[in-house]
Amino acid sequence: MLSGGKPGPHMIQGIGAGFVPGNYDPSVVDEVIRVTNEEAIDASQRLARAEGLLAGISTGANAFAASIVAAREEFQGKRIVFIVCDTGERYLSTLLFHDS
């Protein structure tokens, strides 16, 4: 709901709930970046292949959003960090880690 979109089904567990939590303080948020299921899954798979980091879909969403920020001219040469909030272990039997 933070992005202003409509609530609906998605594959990114832990984010995108159909409500704004009571502890959300918009004054400390610079931007909300929308990430699709496919972008999050692709980023998770790239983290596993390129970095050896077995991470879940919400971590993939964070990595994808961080890559958008890092690509901006004003952030060239800057250190961008994101939170690795879940492990990929729970997704081993899902489409996240199955070749299509």
| Mean pLDDT, range 34-62, rounded to an integer | 92
Of 67, 80, 60, 53, residue with least CA distance to 15 = 60
- pLDDT value at residue 4: 52
* Residue 84 within a domain: yes
CA distance 61 to 42: 9
Domain that holds residue 51: 33-97
- pLDDT value at residue 1: 35
**pTM exceeds 0.85:** no
Domain count, the chain: 1
| Mean pLDDT, range 29-57, rounded to an integer | 92
- For residue 85, the one-letter residue type is C
* Residue 76 within a domain: yes
Domain holding 63: CATH number? Answer: 3.40.50.1100
* Residue 19 within a domain: no
Residue 47 pLDDT more than 70? yes
Least confident range of 16-25, 47-56, 58-67: 16-25
* Residue 85 within a domain: yes
